[in-house]
Copies of this chain bind each other. A is one copy, B any other.
Amino acid sequence: MKMHNPPHPGEVLRELCIDPMGLSITEAAEALGVSRKTLSAILNGHAGISPEMAVRLSLAFGTSSESWLNQQSQYDLWEAEKKRKSLKVRKLSAV
């Protein structure tokens, strides 16, 4: 019940890692072992952080893979919750 419109994880990645370290997309993408396009898409909100990417970020930046993937989950869930009222689901009661 604490969710507050979480920012896209790509924003966080840029503001917490890329920008402070003065990295270009090209440099960071090379270090992560992915294409410039892949990283660019994440930073611009056109792609999410995949489980494998979370591990890559963990290796490159020394953070926990869990924290990156959880951020993505919270973001995805926030989007999915917007449709909650429009979903046709019948409540199942215990016995």
Query: In the assembly, what is the distance between CA of A56 and CA of B91, in Å?
Result: 9
Spell out A's residues near B (CB within 8 Å).
17, 20-21, 23, 28, 30-33, 50-52, 54-56, 58-62, 65-66, 69-70, 72-74, 76-77, 79-81, 83-84, 87-92, 94-95
Q: How far is the CB of A49 from chain B (nearest CB, A)?
A: 11
Query: Is the beta-carbon distance between A65 and B77 smaller than 8 angstroms?
Result: yes
Chain A interface mostly helix, strand, loop or mixed? helix
24 A-B pairs with C-beta separation under 8 A:
A20-B94, A23-B92, A30-B90, A31-B89, A31-B92, A33-B90, A51-B73, A51-B77, A52-B83, A55-B83, A55-B84, A56-B87, A59-B84, A59-B87, A59-B91, A60-B89, A61-B92, A65-B80, A66-B74, A69-B73, A69-B76, A69-B77, A72-B73, A73-B73
